[in-house]
Amino acid sequence: MRLNKALFPLPFLFLFFSSLVTFSQGYKVKTIVIDAGHGGRKPGARGSFSLEKNVALEVALKLGRKIEEEMPELKVLYTRKTDVDVDFYKRAALANDNNADLFLSIHCNSMPDRRVISGYTKNKKGKRIPRYTYQKNTTTSGTETFVAGSHRLNEQDAAIRENEDIKLEKNYKQNYNGYDPNDPETFIILSLFKNLFRDKSLKLARLIQNNYTNDDNRVNRGVKEQGLLILQRCGLPAVLTEIGFISNPTEEKYINSDSGQAEIVNSIFKAIKTYKKETETN
C-alpha cells in the first residue's frame, strides 16, 4: 500500500513536529479538553431507557466542574456543553488550536445483538438448516480505556464502529483528507504518528482503569490501543474512556445514577491529578 500523502497535509505534519519540540522543552498540564462523545443527531449507543450522548454529556460536565473547583490552576475546555452535533475534526482541533495538554473523551460501551439458533427447518432439498434469531447481549459489563493505536486489521471492529459517525458529517472526505472509516488500511497510515504521545496517553489510561477497578469495584476490561480517529488527530496525550455498558441493564442504571456518575467522575479526576503530579517536567 502506498502512503497517502493527502491524508496528512503540511499543517497536520507541522502540528506533530512542533508538539515534539514542546515536549522536549518540558511538559506541564495547564489545559485539558473534555469531550462528551456523540451528540445531536449522533446519539451513539442506545440502552433500554437512555442514550450514550446524554450520559456522556452529564459525566463530562460533572467532571469539568470538579476540576474547575478542586484544580483551579487547570483551564478546562469542552467540545460541547449541550446536545449538539460536533464533528470529530473540530473536537480534535479545539485541543490542538488551544495548545491543550490533555484530551479526554467520554463514551458508553455497547454490545451488538447475538445471533442464536432458535430451531431448525429444511430447505427445498430436504437438508436440515438452522433458523436464527437475534437476542440482546445484556450480560457484558465493565470499563475500558483506549489510546491511539493500530493493531491487526481484524481487530479494528471497535475503531470502525466509533469512527462511523464521521459519515454523518458534511464533506467528511474533504475534512478528513480522504479518510475512509470503512477501510482498516487507513489505520496503518494513521499509526505512523501514534508513538509521539503514546507513553503519556497509556499512563493516564492505566490510572483511570486502576481507579475504576480499585475504588469502584468495576470489571476491568483493560487499556487498549485502537485506531480511533478522534484520538489519532490530537497532537497531545489523549484517551477515550468507556464508562460502562449501556446495553447491560445493571450498568445502564449505574451510569445514569447520581451515585454512579459521582464514582466515575472521582475515578477520572483522581487519575488526572496523579497524572499531573507524576508527569510534569521542568
pLDDT greater at residue 168 or residue 142: 142
* Phi, psi for residue 274 in degrees, rounded to 5: -65, -45
State the Cα–Cα distance between residues 239 and 76, nearest whole angstrom: 16
Q: What is the pLDDT of residues 252-268, one digit of tens each?
A: 999 999 999 999 999 99
Residues 204/29, Cβ–Cβ less than 8 Å? no
CATH 3.40.630.40 is right for the domain spanning 5-14+29-110+138-276: yes
Q: Is 239 exposed, middle or buried (0-12, 13-18, 19+ CB in 10 A)?
A: buried
pTM of the model: 0.76
The answer to whether residue 172 scores a pLDDT higher than 70 is no
Q: What is the pLDDT of residues 57-110, one digit of tens each?
A: 999 999 999 999 999 999 999 999 999 999 888 999 999 999 999 999 999 999
pLDDT greater at residue 201 or residue 22: 201
State the Cα–Cα distance between residues 117 and 262, nearest whole angstrom: 41
Model confidence at 119, in pLDDT bands (50, 70, 90)? confident
The answer to whether residue 177 scores a pLDDT higher than 80 is no
Q: How many other β-carbons are positioned within 10 Å of the β-carbon of residue 96?
A: 21
**DSSP H or E stretch at residue 185:** helix 185-190
Placement of cell 446524554 in the chain: 54
- 162, 168, 171, 175 alpha-carbon torsion, rounded to 10°: -20
Cα 237 → chain centroid? 13
State the Cα–Cα distance between residues 2 and 15, nearest whole angstrom: 23
The answer to whether residue 29 scores a pLDDT higher than 80 is yes
Rg of the chain, C-alpha, whole Å: 20
CA distances from 282 to 22, 25, 130 (A): 12, 8, 65
Model confidence at 3, in pLDDT bands (50, 70, 90)? very low
β-pair partners for 119 = 131
Q: Which three cell numbers stand for residue 107?
A: 463514551
State the Cα–Cα distance between residues 170 and 158, nearest whole angstrom: 23
pLDDT value of position 115: 76
Q: What is the pLDDT of residues 220-250, one digit of tens each?
A: 999 998 878 788 888 889 999 999 999 999 9
pLDDT value of position 2: 35
Count of CA atoms in the C-beta half-sphere (13 A) of 280: 12
Model confidence at 165, in pLDDT bands (50, 70, 90)? low
